[in-house]
């Protein structure tokens, strides 16, 4: 089943709503980075949030989320674009912590205290970055706090990743309700009621509920329009050419040292863990290109 995202708006324009199923996307990230459960949950929630927020971008815009906590997971870094493509990694994917008293994965404890930074690169000279202190490290609360305080868009965010006993991803998804100015008290009351009765996102997805079903439950008794449905997935923009340029940028000394000491180079893309191999001839060619550039 292809993961996808649905975008809707209240008929009276008082809120936007986004819902996504991201089970395969998160599973691909888990496999690529060999994540253990708590890392899968933290990375999966952050990737899902980036996809939901990415649905508000246009064209070539890029959104990055950095969760920088002092917990054992280290940093969680994710980027998404307007085309439903997301990639990301967590600094320490193989850690284990005891479950919370409710039997949940201890994402908050694994992330720790720190800050959440969100950058929007809209192709202008300066990308825009906003930051907030982490509220709980559970990601959804932190993103909602960021949207409400840093971007002044009161939001409800729900993110869920359910990990199976064999560590694979059983279900993942998310919901973002973004209030726009002038929402009536009546609509707010209905949304609040519906949200309070909403089961956990990952159990809805596990039970086969679609993003449309989830939006329908949250907006029960309110008239809405579905604007778009688009496929989403894990996708990295790295390439051999980009890494060659990176090596050229590193400079002659470093590349010569690689050539002398190792006779080759293995470079991993942080975001997708793809491995690129450069043999002796490749490195010699890169050195030639550095010389040409400096000539």
Residues in contact with Zn ion by CB under 5 A are: 236, 238, 269, 271-272, 274
CB of 143 or CB of 269, closer to Zn ion:
269
Cβ proximity to Zn ion: between 89 and 146 the closer is 89
Least distance (Å) between residue 7 CB and Zn ion: 27
Least CB distance to Zn ion at residue 88 (A): 10
| Smallest separation, CB 268 to Zn ion (Å) | 9
The pair of three-digit structure tokens given for residue 241, joined into one six-digit string: 């050419």
71 versus 88: smaller Cβ distance to Zn ion: 88
Choice between 16 and 87, CB closer to Zn ion: 87
E-assigned strand segments in 74-231:
76-81, 85-90, 114-121, 128-133, 155-163, 169-179, 224-231
Cβ 4 to Zn ion shortest distance, Å: 23
- Which of 112, 233 has the CB closer to Zn ion? 233
- How far is 176 from 156, CA to CA, in rounded Å? 6
Give the residue with the Cβ less far from Zn ion, 43 or 201.
Answer: 43
Smallest separation (angstroms) from Zn ion to the CB of 86 = 12
> Which positions ≥6 away from 119 have C-beta within 8 Å?
63, 64, 66, 127, 128, 129
Helix (H) or strand (E) holding 266: strand 265-268
Please enumerate in sequence order all residues whose Cβ is within 8 A of that of 286, keeping only pairs 6 or more positions apart, or say none.
Answer: 244, 247, 248, 255, 278
Task: Output the smallest distance, CB 276 to Zn ion, in A.
Answer: 9
Q: Which two tokens stand for residue 287?
A: 């050195």
User: At which residue do the structure tokens 């550095």 appear?
Assistant: 290
Task: Kindly state the tokens that stand for 271.
Answer: 């975001």
Largest Cα–Cα separation, the chain? 72
Q: Between β-strands 85-90 and 233-234, what pairing exists: parallel, antiparallel or unpaired? A: parallel
């Amino acid at each position: 089943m292809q993961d996808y995202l649905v975008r809707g708006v209240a008929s009276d324009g008082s809120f936007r709503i986004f819902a996504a199923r991201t089970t395969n996307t998160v599973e691909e990230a888990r496999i690529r980075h060999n994540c253990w459960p708590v890392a899968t949950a933290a990375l999966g929630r952050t990737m899902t949030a980036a996809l939901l927020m990415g649905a508000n971008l246009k064209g070539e815009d890029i959104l990055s989320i950095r969760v920088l906590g002092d917990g054992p997971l280290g940093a969680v870094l994710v980027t998404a674009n307007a085309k439903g493509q997301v990639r990301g990694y967590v600094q320490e994917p193989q850690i284990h912590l005891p479950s919370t008293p409710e039997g949940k994965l201890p994402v908050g404890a694994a992330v720790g205290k720190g800050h959440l930074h969100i950058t929007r690169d809209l192709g202008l000279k300066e990308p825009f970055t906003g930051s907030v202190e982490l509220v709980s490290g559970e990601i959804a609360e932190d993103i909602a706090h960021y949207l409400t305080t840093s971007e002044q868009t009161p939001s409800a965010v729900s993110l869920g990743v359910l990990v199976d006993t064999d560590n694979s991803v059983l279900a993942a998804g998310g919901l973002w309700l973004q209030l726009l100015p002038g929402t009536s008290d009546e609509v707010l009351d209905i949304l609040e009621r519906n949200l309070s009765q909403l089961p956990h996102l990952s159990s809805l997805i596990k039970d086969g509920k679609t993003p449309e079903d989830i939006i329908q439950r949250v907006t029960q008794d309110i008239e809405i329009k579905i604007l778009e449905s688009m496929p989403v997935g894990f996708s990295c923009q790295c390439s051999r050419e980009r890494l060659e340029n990176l090596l050229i940028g590193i400079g002659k000394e470093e590349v010569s040292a690689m050539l002398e000491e190792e006779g080759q180079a293995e470079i991993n893309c942080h975001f997708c863990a793809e491995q690129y191999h450069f043999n002796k001839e490749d490195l010699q060619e890169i050195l030639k290109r550095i010389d040409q550039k400096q000539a």
